[in-house]
Amino acid sequence: MKPRMQWAARAAVASAVAALLSACGGGGSDTSTAVSVNSVRVMGDSLADSGTFGFKATVQGSAPTGPGSTPIWPERVATTYGQTLCPHYTSNGTSFSVNATCTNYAVAGGRINNFTAPASPVSITRQIQDAGTAGYNGSELVLIDGGGNDAADLIGAYLRVPRDGGAAYRAVLSTVLDAATVNAAFAAGATGLAQVGGRYMQTLAGQFATTIKTHTLDKGAKRVAIVNMPGITLTPRFRAVLASVAAASGAPAAAQAEAVFDGWVQAFNTQLASNVTGDSRIVIADLYSSFKDQATNPAQYQLTNVTTAACPVTGVGSDGLPTYTFPTCTAAALSAATPPTGATGGTNWWQTYGFADGFHPTPYGHQLVGQLVSRALAQAGWL
Amino acid sequence: MNQQHIVRAAAALATALLATAAQAQVAGTLSVRIGATHIAPQVRSGDLSAPSFPGTRVDVGSASALTGGLNYMLTDNWAIDVPIGLPFKHSFYGDGAIAGVGKVGETKVLPATVFAQYRFGEANANFRPYLGLGVTYAKFFKERTTATLNALSGGTPANPTTADIDDRFGLTPQIGFVYNFNERWFVDAAYYKSFLKTRTHLSSGQSIPIRLNPNVLAVGIGYRF
């Protein structure tokens, strides 16, 4: 019995020592990602632009671009993978030059259908083509957004119908739809005019999906995340537009216009989703739903204001809407300003606002978009 | 635990099985055991507090570890039982609004429990079923988050979001049995359930309540002094 007793005692001591040893060290965070990403390529509009025009379309950090600047959502995602972004195109105000080593192709004002200058980098289609020409080896993460400015163009033209007899609206529609479709819509009166806008956005989404497939997937990209179009009727800018519709034509007309425009955005998103569904190389981050949830349920996202811009109004545009100047709207300037009535958080009051200007998110808004995109990436097994 | 020990334990066990002697679990008997324990949390997660996607929840995976225990018979029927062992490592996965994102973190836990057991039957019976009631103190440590959690909570590789899980007490009812091979060697198997609620805090400010209520299966080979 004696040797066995010794063994039992030794076993007990050994396990106790092991338990104590294993209690040391560790913790913190394992920041390695599920897949290795060698390069993050971005195409899109102002939401994704790292500073083509020398600043970002949000509240500026201690620097307008580069180190110290406000991280926008694609930069936040890139950071997760240990990557940084810089603008592929840079503008001197009149023309663009290319920095081939930089992989953020997004340009503020970017449109899928940049019909006034299809070959300009402002065309997201052109951006996607340029990024495809550079080639993919499959280790990249591709982030794309777009459609918001296209919808804004269309809505602006539609709202001018009473004044210009539909000339501008017809011109925009005709860049995507055939003449017979456009003529039929105009012949069908108000209902036809409203519906054809949805048709336009739907067709545009189809073209967008085809462009992405041809110039991204077919070139070898294996991981593409597309941010769908947010409900732009919820932005301060469109809330103001709808308020002016309400003032001119009554609240029911404004509600109807809002429903029409929101329907167009949804038509775009539905078509886009349907065209990429079933392809494991593409995921869609549903910004539309998340953005709507933030607007109706701000406290859940720790947002204190989702209706007014944090940056000061610096002028009035030709459309009668307020304008803002991003280069002077810095974090330091906002913190030094007297907080608006009702704002909380002291000098950090603007940090819980959803919008920097009438159309673009604050740095925190960008964080929320980044988190949304990250969720989609993680669900695809890429994070 | 090295291989030599296991071989010697097996040899000792075989020898013991052949031996015949009177069994005894009388008052004053001290025994030790070694074996394994499996913990399967039956998770009901609350929602992560704001700011978060509405309905952000987690699930917690099962874990096993090398364990053992000490048992002391106060009377012929009443015993004090203390399981001891290596820590368990549990993984946390996204659920609810973040279902499908995969692993968001892991933690080690040492569930320290003291049981009062009532053993049925005679002190020298071969087979003695028992009921127990324990108090568990779950000590969570080495909480470790993932890149996914960082990305979902605004963290970065340089400034990651970390997690801290509250250490908590819980009640643990138990049912089990002891089967004696001889006067020295026995096998002890038990099922218990810990009623355990805790709360995980993120360095980004949010917290999430989690009811773990694990089902626990423990089995061990024991030696009586």
- Is the Cβ–Cβ distance between A183 and A99 less than 8 Å? no
Q: Could you give phi then psi for residue A296, rounded to 5 degrees? A: -95, -20
Structure tokens at B19: 């031996």
> To the nearest whole angstrom, how far is the Cα of A143 from the nearest Cα of chain B?
15
Single out the residue of A342, A341, A309 nearest to residue A325, CA to CA.
A309
Is A299 in contact with B54 (Cβ distance < 8 A)? no
Pick B145's closest partner by Cβ from A29, A77, A377: A29
**Residue A201 placed within a domain:** no
B121: left (phi over 0), alpha (psi -120 to 50) or beta: left
Is A79 in contact with B156 (Cβ distance < 8 A)? yes
- How many residues are given for chain A? 383
Tell me the residue ranges of DSSP E strands in chain A.
28-30, 39-43, 89-91, 96-98, 140-145, 224-227, 282-285, 305-309, 313-316, 322-324, 353-355
Whole-number pLDDT of residue A26: 64
Structure tokens at B199: 């709360």
- Is the Cβ–Cβ distance between B192 and B6 less than 8 Å? no
Q: In chain B, pLDDT over 70 holds for what percent of residues?
A: 89
Structure tokens at B6: 């296991």
- Is the Cβ–Cβ distance between B67 and B83 less than 8 Å? yes
Structure tokens at B39: 């913990």
Q: Would you call the peptide bond into B51 cis, given omega within 30 degrees of 0 as the criterion?
A: yes
**Residue A163 placed within a domain:** no
SS3 A41: strand
> To the nearest whole angstrom, how far is the Cα of A209 from the nearest Cα of chain B?
25
Question: What ipTM score was computed for the predicted complex, to two decimals?
Answer: 0.90
Task: Supply the DSSP symbol for A65.
Answer: S
pLDDT tens digit sequence for B138-177? 999 999 999 999 999 999 999 999 999 999 999 999 999 9
Is A80 in contact with B223 (Cβ distance < 8 A)? no
Pick A12's closest partner by Cβ from B68, B143, B144: B68
Tokens 């700011």 belong to B51
Whole-number pLDDT of residue A319: 86
CATH topology of domain B3-224: Porin (2.40.160)
DSSP result, A112-155 = TT-TT-TTSTTBHHHHHHHHHHT---S-EEEEEE--HHHHHHHH
Once rounded to an integer, what is the mean pLDDT over residues B124-133?
96
What angle do helix axes A287-296 and A251-276 make, rounded to 10 degrees? Answer: 150
Residue B13: pLDDT band (50, 70, 90) is very low
Single out the residue of A170, A176, A181 nearest to residue A150, CA to CA.
A176
Give the 3-state secondary structure of chain B: CCHHHHHHHHHHHHHHHHCCCCCCCCCCCEEEEEEEEEEECCCEECCCCCCCCCCEEEEECCEEEEEEEEEEECCCCEEEEEEEECCEEEEEEEEECCCCCCEEEEEEEEEEEEEEEEECCCCCCCEEEEEEEEEEEEEEEEEEEEHHHHHHHCCCCCCCCCEEECCEEEEEEEEEEEEECCCCEEEEEEEEECECEEEEEECCCCEEEEECCCEEEEEEEEEEC
Q: Does B46 touch chain A (CB under 8 A)?
A: no
- Nearest chain A residue to B50, by CA: A300
Residue B19, CA atoms < 13 Å, CB-side half-sphere: 17
Question: Which residues in chain B (101-140) have CB-CB distances under 8 A to chain A?
Answer: 101-102, 108, 110
pTM of the model: 0.91
CATH code of residue A89: 3.40.50.1110
Torsion over CA of A173, A177, A183 and A189, rounded to 10 degrees? -60
Per-residue burial over A3-27, b = 16 or more CB atoms within 10 Å of its CB, e = otherwise: ebeebbeebbeebeeebeebeeeee
3-state helix, strand, coil in chain A (%, to 5): 50, 15, 35
Whole-number pLDDT of residue A73: 98
Whole-number pLDDT of residue B76: 95
Structure tokens at A31: 């920041």
Contacts of B8 in chain A (CB under 8 A): 7
State whether the Cα torsion A247-A250-A254-A257 is positive or negative: negative
Per-residue burial over A186-210, b = 16 or more CB atoms within 10 Å of its CB, e = otherwise: beeeeeebbbbbbbbbbbbbbbbbe
- Nearest chain A residue to B156, by CA: A80
Structure tokens at B20: 């015949």
- Is the Cβ–Cβ distance between A5 and B73 less than 8 Å? no
Residue A251, CA atoms < 13 Å, CB-side half-sphere: 0
| Interface with chain A: mutation pick from B86, B92, B140, highest number of A CBs within 10 Å | B86
Is B86 in contact with A383 (Cβ distance < 8 A)? no
Tokens 């509405």 belong to B54
- Is the Cβ–Cβ distance between A310 and A334 less than 8 Å? yes
Tens of pLDDT along chain A (383 residues)?
Answer: 345 545 555 555 554 544 444 444 468 999 999 999 999 999 999 999 999 999 999 999 999 999 999 999 999 999 999 999 999 999 999 999 999 999 999 999 999 999 999 999 999 999 999 999 999 999 999 999 999 999 999 999 999 999 999 999 999 999 999 999 999 999 999 999 999 999 999 999 999 999 999 999 999 999 999 999 999 999 999 999 999 999 999 999 999 999 999 999 999 999 999 999 999 999 999 999 999 999 999 999 999 999 999 999 999 998 889 999 999 999 999 999 999 999 999 999 999 999 999 999 999 999 999 999 999 999 999 99
**Residue A29 placed within a domain:** no
Query: How many structural domains compose chain A?
Result: 1
Single out the residue of A132, A128, A53 nearest to residue A95, CA to CA.
A53
Task: Supply the DSSP symbol for A37.
Answer: -
- Is the Cβ–Cβ distance between A291 and A234 less than 8 Å? yes
> To the nearest whole angstrom, how far is the Cα of A377 from the nearest Cα of chain B?
8
CA distances in angstroms from B195 to A295, B47, B133, B188, B212, listed in the order given: 39, 20, 11, 22, 7
Enclosing domain of residue A232: 35-148+207-241+262-379
Max CA separation in chain B (angstroms): 67
